[in-house]
Structure 1
């Protein structure tokens, strides 16, 4: 890829007291690309996401946007650049309808009064553009399935026309059909030219939609992989830090059985 990445981390480090959470982390994400960020619990994935989102300012290193150094010291800085983050808890209000959730905190007004008609029109337009199927934009969020809730949360992040969308475990605790809905939406984000950083524990999801995989282990980079050229066993070995584990042993037994 010749063009400058939308986002690049250069030697980023972060410490919390005596705990070194991130050490010299490198990462690049280009437009129209899905990069999966994977690693075991405690690998530093959440901390890394929060440094990009401006929740935890970095201690050392450089964050680049379109090839130029930028300062991201608060969430507002990230939003102004064009970074949208959808956290695992979704931050949706169950008792408010879809329109209300989409425009929560950024309501449209006309002559000082909420413009419900225009918000509903824009909500329908946005959901149609992303091919998101829900029964109605006027039903409470509590009435939607887990997959539908996740897609609404992602749609809300698109209102600001971000260039980078960060999805934190978007398919966690979802069923097969609901997971497919979310992964289809990730594909559409890439088709629309967005850069996507996908945090996931599911190798199936990673293999399904990611172009590249970045592995974190103990707060450091432990490998970058092109999904099309890499086996699941290689990625798991990088995550665990071991070349011998249950997955690789099973693969070896399968290979031996074919001989």
Structure 2
């Protein structure tokens, strides 16, 4: 059985006091029904790492460099993230792809750096509204995953989580119907089966895109949806914990 994961991507939000308050509320809740992870902005990772050092809640970073060290002003390496307590790193988020022009090759390079450090890569994929309306949603997602499917060894997939985030549902209030989300998650799992049935059975595939407490239970009840990558709703402890508690 795949254990569900609820991960909060704070994006470029929060402050020191807000981060402390959010983490305190999440830790006090002591969620047992699923795995929980948070992805604060870079400035708050070190303090969060201390706060979560003996906790069940996992710490993740929102991005990483493709280099290990050197003259890369403004970049942060995977080893640095691990040094402050991170266990997971997001790669390929649609905002990174669209705003910072990250290609599938860059996503693969970052994923390989994360796996080499024995950390978990949360790899994001998803289509735009135009791509969905033109009937190309599955083609786009397959293309985004293609390099990983061909380059990663079977054993490495134990350190990979896929997050399907339809771009048209991120921060818009729009959410894919449970049926739409399940259809794409099942398609992604069929691609993973091309690596091996074990990889298909064991790799967690999260849904992201305006997930909230009100719709989480119905989404997470789908057989191929293994939790959520939560954006705006992760900035409010009550809403984020409501999503976690929606898992029966």
Q: TM bucket by the smaller chain?
A: 0.3 to 0.5
Query: Is the radius of gyration larger for structure 1 or structure 2?
Result: 1
| TM superposition score normalised by structure 1 | 0.38
| TM superposition score normalised by structure 2 | 0.39
**Which structure shows the higher strand fraction?**
1
**Which structure shows the higher helix fraction?**
2
